Structure 1
Amino acid sequence: MADPARDSLPLPDYDHLPIGGLESRVRSLGAEEVEELLAYERSHADRLPATELLTARLEQLRSGARPSSGDPGAVRPEQGQGRSGSPVSPATSPQPFSPPPHGTPDQRGKPKGDRT
């Protein structure tokens, strides 16, 4: 069930932003918008790093800081992390081998299934 408050936030993807992306993106918001995000955060997840970041930005704005354009290259959920699965493949895997039998390190071992 969608939260109606979430749909009206100044940053529509707020719930999915990593802290680094949030830090860059809140620079473009005014004091009222940061207050709205802070109230939402406190009433929902109440994550300490997020509340500290929003509180610090709110203090900066109240001390005379002006909203800026923020960082357009900030991490956004829709950009993903660039990972596409495991780098392990048959091409990067070593050839299977069995350990040598005890006492003879010169000889390669044979899998038990091949012994007759």
Structure 2
Amino acid sequence: MADPGRNTLPLPDYDHLPLGGLESRVRSLTVEEVEELLAYERTHADRLPITEVLTARLEQLRAGAEPTSGDPGALRPEQSVGHGGSPVSPATSPQPFGPPPHGTPDQRGKPKGDQR
């Protein structure tokens, strides 16, 4: 099978999908499309967890499984509205502090010349 290009893959954002998103989205692909993704993965990143997911789905399809719509919530898991952003806010930030004083009107520094 020829090396498929990134722009012709059945999942256009394939390189940016997390493993969980790929597992859900690959269910909607045909045998040929999964083979194309597997060939692309093997010639590029060759990530073991990804090749295992694609190989398992390919075996399911060859054993008679039908492509389904997949998980609609996983179509763009990287853009989900779930937990995101920083929990830090001005209300949860500590009070600012400065370095220790090196002589203040209340606590004068001692000159080094007075040492004996």
Pair in the same fold by TM > 0.5: yes
Q: What's the counterpart of residue 5 of structure 1?
A: 5
Map 1:60-75; keep pairs closer than 5 Å.
Answer: 60-74=60-74
Residue type at the aligned position of 1:5: G
Question: Where does structure 1 lack aligned partners over 5 or more consecutive residues?
Answer: 98-110
Q: What's the counterpart of residue 89 of structure 1?
A: 89
Question: Where does structure 2 lack aligned partners over 5 or more consecutive residues?
Answer: 109-116
Q: Shift of residue 82 of structure 1? A: 5.1
Separation in 2, partners of 1:78, 1:64? 31
Q: Shift of residue 88 of structure 1? A: 2.1
Q: Shift of residue 92 of structure 1? A: 1.2
Instruction: Please report the TM-score for the alignment, with normalisation by the length of structure 1.
Output: 0.74
Map 1:1-116; keep pairs closer than 5 Å.
Answer: 5-74=5-74, 76=76, 79=79, 83-84=84-85, 86-95=86-95, 111-113=100-102, 114=104, 115-116=107-108
Count of residue pairs brought into register by the alignment: 100
Identity of aligned residues (%): 77
User: Which structure is larger by alpha-carbon Rg, 1 or 2?
Assistant: 2
Instruction: Please report the TM-score for the alignment, with normalisation by the length of structure 2.
Output: 0.74
